[in-house]
Structures are given as C-alpha cells and as structure tokens.
Amino acid sequence: MRHLPMRVPRVIGRRALGALTTALLTTGGLAVSAQAVPAAAPDPAPASSGHEQLALTPPMGFNNWNSTHCRDEFNESMVKGIADLFVERGLKDAGYEYVNLDDCWALPERDADGRLVPDPKRFPNGIEAVADYVHSKGLKFGIYTSAGTKTCSSIGFPGALGHEYSDARQFADWGVDYLKYDNCNNQGVDAKQRYTTMRDALAATGRPIVYSICEWGENKPWEWAGDLGQLWRTTGDINDSWGSMSSIMKSNLELAEYARPGGWNDPDMLEVGNGGMTDTEYRTHFSMWSIMAAPLLIGTDLRTAPESAFEILTNDEVIAVDQDPLGKQGEVVSSEGGRWVVSKELADGSRAVALFNEGSRAQRIETTAKAVGLPKSRGYTMRDLWKHSDTNTTGRIAATVPAHGTVLVRVHADRKWAQYPPAVDVHAGGDTVTEAGRTVRITSEATDLGGTAAHSVSVALTGPDGWRVTPRSATSARALKPGATLATDWDVVVPAGTSTGDRILTLTARHRTHSGSWLTSTAPFTVRVGVPLPAGESALSDADPLSATNGWGPVERDQSVGERGAGDGNPITIGGTTFAKGLGVHASSSVEYYLGGTCGKVTAQVGVDDESGDKGTVAFEVWADETRAASTGTLTNADPARAVSADVSGADIVRLVVTDAGDGSGYDHADWADLRVTCT
C-alpha cells in the first residue's frame, strides 16, 4: 500500500472488516455462524470473588506488544527474561507486578474440544508453564484475547466472542491474573454486552482476574466500564512517537473525573525505551502517565533496553504519584500556548504538579499553590521528583521547561518549609530571532521564589561551541531576599557562518544551601538563527527551514511525505495534477522559515496528496509571526489544489501549519505544492 496512514495498515483491515460484517448482519447476509454470536450466560454470575479489591492503584507491569508486535522474539524466553529482570533490576521492588502476553500467543485454530492452543513455537511448554514461572518470582501473569470472533492481528487468532465461559475457565486454570480484552472482529455486537459477558465469565471462575477493557474509547467506556473491569482504554493505539503519545495524553487528560481506585482510564501502554522519542520526551511520557494515574505497563524489551529507560521507569518518586492511594487522576489547571499545568491531589494532602511544555521550544510555565488546589500557607515545601531535591516557595511554582519536557514537583503546605533552601527561578528574555554574525542582547533573571533568603547566588550563560557570551552587568549577589531578583544583561555573538536553525543556550543559577551544598536551576534559552532568502521570487523548498515538525516521518522537499523514512515520497500530486516543487508533509505539521522582515508574499497550491487514497482531511494555515495571514478550512482528497497567498510583509518568520482538521491525523498526507516566496 502506497499511502501508509499514521496507524499501521492492519488497523485499516480490521476496521473495514468490522464495518463489512456489521453491514452483512444487518442486511440479513449472515457473515458468521450463529455460534459466533455471544451465547447467553450459562448460569447467573456468582458474586464476584474479590473483584472490588482489584487494582486499587493503577496496575503496573509489562506487556510485549509495543516492542514485539507479533514478531518471533515474542516467546517463552522473552517472557521469562522479563520476569527475571523484574526481580534482578529492582522493577518488582518498584511496584511492577504483572507480566502480560499480548496478541499472537495462540494458534489460529481451536482444538477439537474448542479449547485455545498455545503456539508451540513460541510457547513449547504451554502457557501454564510460563504462568508458573512468573508466579515463582512472586509476580503475576496476564493474557490477551478479543471480544470478537478473532483477535486484532491480521493472522486472526481465535477471539472469545461466543466462547467467553470456556476461555475464561481455561485462563483461570492456567493461573491467569489479568486479562486484556480487545475489540476486533466484534461482529457489531453491542460493546457493553460483550464486555459484560466476559466480566461474568471471569467472575464465574472464582479467580481474581484484573479485567482490562480495550475498546479504544469507542463507546465512552469511562461511563460504563467501571462496573465491569478495573481499567479501560480511552484511545486508539499508541505508537513510539511524540505525536502519538502527546495526542493520546491530551485525550486522556479530559477524563480525569472518571478515574478512581479500582477503575482507571488507560491511555495505553508505555513506549519508554523503544527509541522513537528522546529521553526528555520519555520523561514527559512517564511523568504524565503517572500524574494521570494511568496503568504503567512497560512496553519495551528490558533485555535490550538502554540504561536510561531503567532510570526513568524506576523513578520511585514518580511512581508514588501514579500509585497514590487516593486514586485521583490529575486535572488540567491551565493549558495556554502549549504550557500545561496539571495537578493531582495526593492522599497526604500534597499535590503533584506537572509543568508540561507541549511546544517545540523552551517555555516558562508558572502557576501557584492556590491554583493547583493547595490550602493557604506562609510557605510550601516543593520537591522536584526528577532532580530529587527540596526547596521552599511562598506559593509561586515556576520553571523554564525544555521543548517537550515536563517538570514534575510535589508541593506540601507543611510547617517544615523554611528548613529547605528557597526555590530560585531562572529565565531569560530578549532577542530570539537573528542572523549569523550579529550580536544579540539577552537579559536573565534569577528570582527567589521562597520565603527565605538565597545565599551566594550566581548566574552563568553558556552558548554552543564558538559562541561568545559576555555579561554586561553583575552575575552574582551575596544574598537575594525573598521575592528579589538578580537581573543580568548579556551580549551574545552568533558566529559568522552559523547555519539556519534553533540553537539552545543554557542559563544556570546556583545558590548555597544551609548545609553548604549548591542547588542549581537551569533554563534553556533558544536563539533562532536565520539566513536571509534570495531577493526576488524563489522556491521555499530550496531554503533550509528554521524548524520542521511532522505527524508522520520527516517533512519532504519536492516530493510527498510517502512513508516514514526520509526521501521515500512520490511526486507531489493533488487531484491528479503533479507539481515539481513544494513540501510534502503529514498532519499535524509545522514548518518555519526565516524571512528577517524582507519578504512580502508567500504563495502555494495546497491540498491532500493523492497518495492518501480518499481519506485525508486537513486544513492549511500560514502564519506571519503571530498573525494568521491565510487559511483554507478543511480540504479533502475530493478538492483540487487550492491557491493560497499570504501577506508576510515585515514578518521575521513564516510558519506553515497543517492541522488534522479535527478528525485525527490518519491518512493526512498534505502538500504545499509550488511553494514560493517573494523577498527584496
């Protein structure tokens, strides 16, 4: 298939199949045998055996799916290896408990008695032996099937629809402690009915089995699944990319009110360690899953995972936020300009507060103890859960957060606050857009946010190699009183010949604590270096962008986005017309070019690329600095190329944005065809 969507093609197959079989059923053309439709429960479900006691905090463990899908390395030795590492590497002590199998553990056919058969290549000793091994380590064991006639894999393993009671019995006999129950090939049978039948079947086994409802948020499970299981997926599948993780996070954040002990919103399993995101992004992933009280199911092969993944996954102070016994999901306090503040009430009366920067450049994020729900107090203790250090504040909670980063703190209104050194917030302002060879003036500020004085305060600013940074005023103060600021001017020379792009400078402030140690706060500061565009009219795709973000693979020059790799696109084609020049992008996308105030007009022919089949829906926007200079509204494959012309006179930067038009970014291959700029 030429037009890969954001999601794996397997999804297209099964959704299409689901729709087809539903249609056949409703038109009387029965696509499945009558037995495939769920049988009525054989007898009423007995009172559940401890169901109410399960998952009083969000389940923690491992599931192979995100790292292996159905590849061969998903097998007995992997599962045992993970259980071993849980014990050896301290994950069990950190709270990770369940070792779970996902799809593809079975043979495609049941045996003559209708029983599920483990794949003998993957699990030569059967499933029970693996469960026994996991149990022997003091861990618990989970398995997977679908509330449909087949599972989700395109190979199609047997699903439990119509076999709920016998399959549940088989799982219980194997020693299963956790069932993930998926949604594929569901024959259009009502979701609540399908998930209720399995709930009753699990209860009938008498074995306590955590029940994970995986219908991707299609039927608002947060409204009903709490009566059935302990967790319910709220979205489609995650993948190991910033776009996927952050959009799932935002959907799940809206559902805070539904989470409670024994019933959790599930934004899908962790990708930490799989390599598609930076460590900053993985720390955001882990921080935000924890503040959302999400299940923490490790989705990386720990046998080969980098050390940084272990460091993130075993941060016990972050895990404690997730596992807090009060069982509340963090709530959004504010989210302007990609600066998110999320606050989670904790059992000891403190609040976990996440300052999450969704933007692609560092931003300062600030809130207050009052805004995050803390009671009035003269001072607060604020613990940074990644730096593992305590400070005091009189109520301001602020940090400059790197692009895609999260600062996670735990704030108490306690009487001990004055024992800790004050929090010192550093940030800088000034010229951010410039050209090679120029000098920019930056002003930094280090402010004591605490109720006690900060002693021996000093600031430093460092640029990339070859950059000259000179302070033009004092860089130190013997002491800063509460609320006082040390302001410093800096001249920064951007070396001649520096290429287009963002460069990060680091501002550091340090001050001495009572015990004589030093406390450091840092703030990234972005300087955007542009190279002037040629005079006259030129193709923007011939220039280097200042920045580029894309929803699927990289932005491509003079070709469509194609697949996920670089340079794997096709000729840019909209409505049958081919264009030699332009940019191929995929929603959600943003590409910036430096104009330096010397250009007048940007023009393009825009539309959904023909390679997306007939499913793409996008909208184009052209921004001149902070002004929206042109926009198209929603365009689909049915639309021919649309001419766009934007007045960018005087602007330093033009930003070309493609949104998903509000319906998710699958199939959203979009083109800025014949993209041209006129400059003097």
In the complex, the residues that contact ligand GLA under the rule CB under 6 A are: 65, 102-103, 151-153, 182, 214, 216, 237
Query: What amino acid occupies position 7?
Result: R
Closer CB to ligand GLA, residue 101 or residue 641?
Answer: 101
Of all residues in the shown chain, the one whose CB is closest to ligand GLA is: 152
Burial grade of 534 (CB within 10 A; 0-12, 13-18, 19 or more):
exposed
Closer CB to ligand GLA, residue 267 or residue 584?
Answer: 267
Distances, alpha carbon 175 to alpha carbons 59, 128, 375, in Å: 18, 7, 47
In whole angstroms, how close is the CB of 215 to ligand GLA at the nearest point? Answer: 9
In this structure, the dihedral spanned by the alpha carbons of residues 37, 41, 45 and 49, taken in order and rounded to 10 degrees, is: -50
Closer CB to ligand GLA, residue 152 or residue 210?
Answer: 152
What are the structure tokens assigned to 156, written together? Answer: 């199609």
What is the residue whose two structure tokens read 């330093």?
A: 652
What is the residue whose two structure tokens read 């300087």?
A: 527
**What CA–CA distance (Å, rounded) separates 108 from 373?**
53
Which residue, among 135, 133, 101, has the nearest Cα to 119 in the 3D structure? 101
In whole angstroms, how close is the CB of 71 to ligand GLA at the nearest point? Answer: 12
Cβ atoms of 644 and 680 closer than 8 Å: no
In whole angstroms, how close is the CB of 142 to ligand GLA at the nearest point? Answer: 12
Closer CB to ligand GLA, residue 216 or residue 579?
Answer: 216
Burial grade of 46 (CB within 10 A; 0-12, 13-18, 19 or more):
exposed
Q: Which residues 6+ apart lie within 8 Å of 74 measured at CB?
A: 64, 68, 101, 102, 104, 105, 122
Of the residues 167, 237, 448, 671, only one is catalytic, namely: 237
**Residue 182 annotated in active site:** yes
State phi, psi for 241 to the nearest 5 degrees.
-140, 155
**What CA–CA distance (Å, rounded) separates 65 from 301?**
10
What are the structure tokens assigned to 319, written together? Answer: 């895990």
In whole angstroms, how close is the CB of 12 to ligand GLA at the nearest point? Answer: 12
Closer CB to ligand GLA, residue 214 or residue 555?
Answer: 214
What are the structure tokens assigned to 234, written together? Answer: 């709220």
In whole angstroms, how close is the CB of 239 to ligand GLA at the nearest point? Answer: 10
**N- to C-terminal Cα separation, the chain:** 44
Closer CB to ligand GLA, residue 245 or residue 408?
Answer: 245
Closer CB to ligand GLA, residue 145 or residue 391?
Answer: 145
Closer CB to ligand GLA, residue 214 or residue 651?
Answer: 214
Of the residues 102, 103, 167, 182, only one is catalytic, namely: 182
Query: Interhelix angle for 164-174 vs 126-136, to 10°?
Result: 50
In whole angstroms, how close is the CB of 464 to ligand GLA at the nearest point? Answer: 41
In whole angstroms, how close is the CB of 425 to ligand GLA at the nearest point? Answer: 41
In whole angstroms, how close is the CB of 424 to ligand GLA at the nearest point? Answer: 44
β-pairing, 210-213 vs 231-233, is parallel
Q: Where are the alpha helices (DSSP H) in 208-323?
A: 242-253, 279-291, 307-313, 316-322
Longest dimension (CA), the chain: 84
Closer CB to ligand GLA, residue 299 or residue 545?
Answer: 299
Cβ atoms of 578 and 590 closer than 8 Å: no
**What CA–CA distance (Å, rounded) separates 166 from 183?**
19
**What CA–CA distance (Å, rounded) separates 172 from 174?**
5
In whole angstroms, how close is the CB of 364 to ligand GLA at the nearest point? Answer: 37
In this structure, the dihedral spanned by the alpha carbons of residues 73, 74, 80 and 82, taken in order and rounded to 10 degrees, is: 90
Query: Which residues are catalytically annotated?
Result: 182, 237
